[in-house]
Amino acid sequence: MIDLVHGATLFGAIVLAGGRARRMGGVRKPTRPVAGVPMIERVLAAVVPVGPPIVVGPADVVASVTVPTMEETPPGGGPVAAIAAVFDAHRTALADVVVIVAGDLPLLTVAAVRDLTATVRHGRVDGAVFVDRDGRRQWLCGAWWSASIAGSLATLAAARGGLAGAALRDLLGSLAVADVSHEGEPPPWFDCDTDDDIRRAEEWLTR
């Protein structure tokens, strides 16, 4: 997205890629290939059309040197701390609507991301997330007004005395959220935590 006032390109997506992947032996999960392409590269391709992404994770988690990376404070502080790190460092460089997704969603698509951002822009909500068939909100596959996230971060930090270890539900659950359903398969929010998950994602991608 272009800032029409300053002419700058604003970050349109935050990709969280700092998990420890304990169920995959501690490897850097987003770098694991799915059908020959690292998961995070699939995620980046899906979010780029809404604006340049910034990745929270190790510097070498992405192959391209043009994609900026950073780490949360403290390291390993969890997804809320990771989001806060981006807002602390780059608040004025974020688009008005920002996509926040995990780096292990190999089935995420451009169309799915645009569904989320369109829902936010056209509804009286703070954000939008996909929901699965059981109605569970997929917090790491959503789009949000940046101002709403900034306000919730400040409120939560004041209430807890810090954001390390905070749950996404604590950050986002009090906001006005639109639930977005997805018909058919594969589900864009499908995350890969195990080798079996990777095999299942590959089956979807190669059908």
In a domain, 18, yes or no: yes
CA–CA distance, 98 with 145 (Å, rounded to integer): 6
Please give the model's pTM, rounded to 2 decimal places: 0.92
In a domain, 127, yes or no: yes
The least confident of 10-14, 24-28, 133-137, 182-186 is 24-28
In a domain, 207, yes or no: no
112-144: string of b/e by CB count within 10 Å (b at 16+)? bbebbbebbeeeebbbbbbbeeeeebbbbbbbb
Specify the pLDDT at position 7: 43
Please give the average per-residue pLDDT across 126-135, as a whole number. Answer: 96
Q: What is the CATH number of the domain that holds 36?
A: 3.90.550.10
In a domain, 5, yes or no: no
Percentage of the chain surpassing pLDDT 70?
92
- Kindly give, in sequence order, each residue whose CB lies less than 8 Å from that of residue 76, ignoring residues fewer than 6 positions away: 18, 20
pLDDT at residue 102 greater than cutoff 80: yes
Omega of the bond leading into 74 within 30 degrees of 0 (cis):
yes
In a domain, 67, yes or no: yes
With beta carbons less than 8 A apart as the criterion, state whether 46 and 107 touch.
Answer: no
What is the band of 2 on the pLDDT scale with cuts at 50, 70, 90? very low
Q: Which residues form the domain of 59?
A: 11-201
Specify the pLDDT at position 4: 39
In a domain, 161, yes or no: yes
φ, ψ (nearest 5 deg) of residue 169: -60, -35
Residue from 97, 142, 125 nearest 1 by CA: 97
In a domain, 149, yes or no: yes
In a domain, 4, yes or no: no
Domains held by the chain: number: 1
71-87 per-position pLDDT tens digit: 988 888 999 999 999 99
